[in-house]
Amino acid sequence: MCRRTHDVESSEAIARLATSKRILVLGSSGSGKSSLTRQLCQVLDIEPIHLDAHFWKPGWVSTPQPEWRQTVASLISRDSWIMDGTYESTLDLRIPAADTLIVLERSRLLCLWRCVKRKATIGDRQRPDAPPGQKLDLAFLRYIWHYPEVTRPFLYECIRQHGENKLLIVLRGQKEVARLLQQVEKR
């Protein structure tokens, strides 16, 4: 089973995170995965892998599953990375390959707000973590709304099954994210 910490100031957890070479950042759409990934990459000098940029083709056309699993297998074979994206269909590949798992737990309303705000402020301009043209449709909004009851339990079950001896850090708010980054920078 994973070692779980809620104390982002735990010296053991911070030391393990600071020396991790493969970090997986998970959570609902709009939870801040890409932002945390970019910040950690700067602090730890590790390459980011934004799964949205690999899964979605222009116009937000998805990659077929067999091809997607091959793409993920290639990405996780790299020596070091900080990878963001929940993508349930490949958790069985990514969790065992990671040293550290960071789960962002945010309220569904905050995640919805952040996605709507991102669409309104960035629109279809190119993001560094995804192609242009993301749809803010009813299916996407439903996914975010149902994440706490559907996806989050599945995510934790995958962590239980595939995450033995992994450091698991659960962050529940922006203050915990900021504290984590501050502690890692100090190392």
The pLDDT of residue 122 is above 80: no
User: Which residues are CB-contacts of 94 (< 8 A; sequence separation ≥ 6)?
Assistant: 24, 72, 76, 83, 87
Binned at pLDDT 50, 70 and 90, residue 126 comes out as low
5: alpha, beta or left? (left if phi > 0; alpha if psi -120 to 50):
beta
Q: Please give the Cα distance from 30 to 151 (Å, whole number).
A: 14
The pLDDT of residue 3 is above 90: no
Inter-residue contact 17 to 100 (CB < 8 Å): yes
User: Which residues are CB-contacts of 7 (< 8 A; sequence separation ≥ 6)?
Assistant: 13
The fold adopted by the segment(s) 3-186 is: Rossmann fold (3.40.50)
User: Which residues are CB-contacts of 134 (< 8 A; sequence separation ≥ 6)?
Assistant: 56, 60, 119, 124
The pLDDT of residue 142 is above 80: yes
Binned at pLDDT 50, 70 and 90, residue 6 comes out as very low
pTM: predicted TM-score of the whole model, two decimal places: 0.92
Beta-carbon neighbour count of residue 44 at 10 Å? 19
The pLDDT of residue 149 is above 50: yes
